[in-house]
């Protein structure tokens, strides 16, 4: 594609060369520069792409996009200057992939918590309604049964546009994305006029370092979504719900327990049977029905409300909404794995004390016969995390099964000894089973009726990192192997 066509929605200045050159691809990683490509100089946390501009010359790129002045000792390459290369990358990428967002219903979710679960709920509901959908977020780029790993919750704009083009080409009619505050701040979702934007909630997170300087900036970045969408769906119960709409250019509707909301929840309760943990509530307002959600905890009601509000505004039927919420599962997030027996086994990504506290407190609300937590801790990380995880599990679990996690370059037994320091501060019972598969097998073999067993720490990860090498390890496969070895399949 011609460079001048890629730049048609961008304010730019030609420093040297001509915009009438052919561009074979757009790259922002200097290691991926190929002849004919355009190298975009991005400023990151730890590096500045302008430092690598000379490599674009050496590797015969056709053009370089900059926002700072640079010296180029070759007048054959085109140099284009813009105000912000991150912002321009979004618009250039959209043109390069022929504006795929125009072929999809686009939905973005922002908020401190609940983004991943809400994305999964919306996708499941839409697919129950026969609308093939792709997602982008913490779990990667998911199109059909294919998952493409990503480095960030909200990838760079080029990756988003490329994913949407693939979604459209593979028959998707909708795209749902987690729009993180950093993703919004760094223009990763620019050039998309979202059909729907969702605000889940706001709390302290991502402050300091290279992220946000303070809570005000954090909120301002989340609020950017509502200048990029046509309709906002807002959690009216969150104390920042009006602040998130300051400067908004979209129409909006609200959800929550507030009687002033458009989508109102009431009479929420917890549901529990062996192999099923969820929540139930009554919905009134714009839609009326009794809703069962197949994800544990009172907080899942809010995630369900956000998903319902989007899907209802899209015209999805109550029947499809109810079906989707009854069958939804989020990989690695209180993910229930079917097993024979009258107990519940689930996988969760909780890998620090706070996330462990949240999931175990939620599961305690279901009054299990015993709450059993299997977990380890990552190597080459602060020891205090291990102490805190041990103390949290010891306080909230009836039994802790201590095992390995990503030990990295540390000895597993040294990590386990640190975890035991934390457990020793409580009256919690524990056993040590260093090998993770053996630990899973131990949990299954010793399960009693009414138990809830949570395998914590790995979640959606499918590897075990030991001494710099990532070995394949999927807990779902380990569960299946353990059941077969125990003659329980």
* CATH code of the domain covering residue 269: 3.40.1190.10
At 39 the three-state DSSP class reads: strand
| CA distance linking residue 78 with residue 40, whole number of Å | 12
Residue 422 shares a structural domain with residue 397: yes
At 67 the three-state DSSP class reads: coil
Residue 106 shares a structural domain with residue 254: yes
Q: Residue 338 contacts by C-beta under 8 Å, 6 or more apart in sequence?
A: 275
| CA distance linking residue 394 with residue 426, whole number of Å | 6
- For the chain, what is the domain count? 3
Residue 292 shares a structural domain with residue 368: no
pLDDT reported for residue 214:
79
Residue 203 shares a structural domain with residue 342: no
Strand partners, 231: 196, 251
Residue 168 shares a structural domain with residue 316: yes
Residue 339 shares a structural domain with residue 478: yes
Per-residue pLDDT of the chain (489 residues; tens, 9 = 90+): 999 999 999 999 999 999 999 999 999 999 999 999 999 999 987 889 999 999 999 999 999 999 999 999 888 999 999 999 999 999 999 999 999 999 999 999 999 889 999 999 999 999 999 999 999 999 999 998 899 999 899 999 999 999 999 999 999 999 999 999 999 999 999 999 999 999 999 986 545 555 666 788 989 999 999 999 999 999 999 999 999 999 999 999 999 999 999 999 999 999 999 999 999 999 999 999 999 999 999 999 999 999 999 999 999 999 999 999 999 999 999 999 999 999 999 999 999 998 999 999 999 999 999 999 999 999 999 999 999 999 999 999 999 999 999 999 999 999 999 999 999 999 999 999 999 999 999 999 999 999 999 999 999 999 999 999 999 999 999 999 999 999 997
| CA distance linking residue 99 with residue 119, whole number of Å | 22
| CA distance linking residue 243 with residue 290, whole number of Å | 31
| CA distance linking residue 70 with residue 263, whole number of Å | 54
Residue 113 shares a structural domain with residue 141: yes
Task: Please answer whether residues 232 and 248 qualify as being in contact, where contact means their C-beta atoms are separated by less than 8 angstroms.
Answer: yes
Residue 221 shares a structural domain with residue 291: yes
Q: Which of 96, 120, 137 is the last residue of a domain?
A: 96
Q: Which of 71, 96, 121 is the last residue of a domain?
A: 96
Q: What is the CATH number of the domain that holds 78?
A: 3.40.1390.10
Q: At what angle do helices 85-96 and 157-169 cross, to 10 degrees?
A: 20
Residue 317 shares a structural domain with residue 375: no
Residue 78 shares a structural domain with residue 111: no
pLDDT reported for residue 328:
96
Interior angle at CA 395, CA 394 and CA 401, nearest 5: 25
Give the global pTM.
Answer: 0.92
pLDDT reported for residue 268:
97
Q: Domain range spanning residue 242? A: 100-327
Residue 109 shares a structural domain with residue 132: yes
Q: Where do we find the tokens 């009256």?
A: 427
Burial of 450 (0-12, 13-18, 19+ CB in 10 A): middle
pLDDT reported for residue 209:
57
Q: What is the CATH number of the domain that holds 446?
A: 3.90.190.20
Q: Where does residue 468 fall: left (phi above 0), alpha (psi -120 to 50 degrees), or beta otherwise?
A: left
Q: Which of 74, 96, 118 is the last residue of a domain?
A: 96
Alpha helices by DSSP H, 59-171: 85-96, 115-128, 157-169
Residue 430 shares a structural domain with residue 442: yes
């Amino acid at each position: 594609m011609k460079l001048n066509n890629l730049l048609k929605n961008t304010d730019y200045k030609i420093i040297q060369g001509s915009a009438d050159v052919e561009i074979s691809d757009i790259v922002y990683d200097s290691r991926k520069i190929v002849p004919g490509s355009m190298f975009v100089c991005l400023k990151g946390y730890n590096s500045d792409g302008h430092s690598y501009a000379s490599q674009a010359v050496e590797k015969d790129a056709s053009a370089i996009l900059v926002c700072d002045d640079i010296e180029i000792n070759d007048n054959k390459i085109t140099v284009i200057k813009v105000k912000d290369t991150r912002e321009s990358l979004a618009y250039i990428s959209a043109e390069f992939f022929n504006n795929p967002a125009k072929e999809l219903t686009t939905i973005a979710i922002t908020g401190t918590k609940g983004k991943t679960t809400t994305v999964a709920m919306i996708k499941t509901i839409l697919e129950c309604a026969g609308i093939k959908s792709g997602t982008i977020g913490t779990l990667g780029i998911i199109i059909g049964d294919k998952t493409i790993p990503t480095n960030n919750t909200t990838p760079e704009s080029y990756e988003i546009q490329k994913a949407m083009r693939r979604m459209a080409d593979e028959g998707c009619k909708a795209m749902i994305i987690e729009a993180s505050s950093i993703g919004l701040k760094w223009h990763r979702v620019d050039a998309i006029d979202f059909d729907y934007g969702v605000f889940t909630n706001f709390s302290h997170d991502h402050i300091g370092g290279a992220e946000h300087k303070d809570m005000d900036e954090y909120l301002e970045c989340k609020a950017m979504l509502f200048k990029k969408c046509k309709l906002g769906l807002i959690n009216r119960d969150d104390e920042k719900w009006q602040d998130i709409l300051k400067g908004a250019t979209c129409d909006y509707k609200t959800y929550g327990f507030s009687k002033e909301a458009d989508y109102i929840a009431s009479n929420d309760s917890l549901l529990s049977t062996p192999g099923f943990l969820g929540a139930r509530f009554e919905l009134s307002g714009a839609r009326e029905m009794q809703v069962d959600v197949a994800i544990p905890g009172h907080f899942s009601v809010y995630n369900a409300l956000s998903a319902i509000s989007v899907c209802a505004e899209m015209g999805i039927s109550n029947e499809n909404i109810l079906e989707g919420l009854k069958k939804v599962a989020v990989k690695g997030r209180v993910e229930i794995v079917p097993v024979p027996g009258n107990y519940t086994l689930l996988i969760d990504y909780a890998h620090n004390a706070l996330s462990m506290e949240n999931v175990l407190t939620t599961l305690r609300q279901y009054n299990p016969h015993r709450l059993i937590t299997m977990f380890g801790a990552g190597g080459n990380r602060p020891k205090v995390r291990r102490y805190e995880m041990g103390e949290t599990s010891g306080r909230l679990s009836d039994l802790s099964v201590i095992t390995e996690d990503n030990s990295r370059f540390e000895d597993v037994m040294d990590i386990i000894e640190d975890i035991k320091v934390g457990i020793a501060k409580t009256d919690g019972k524990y056993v040590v089973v260093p090998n993770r598969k053996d630990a899973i097998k131990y949990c299954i073999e010793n399960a009693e009726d009414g138990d809830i067993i949570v395998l914590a720490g790995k979640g959606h990860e499918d590897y075990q990192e030991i001494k710099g090498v990532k070995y394949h390890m999927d807990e779902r496969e380990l569960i299946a192997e353990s059941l077969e070895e125990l003659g329980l399949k």
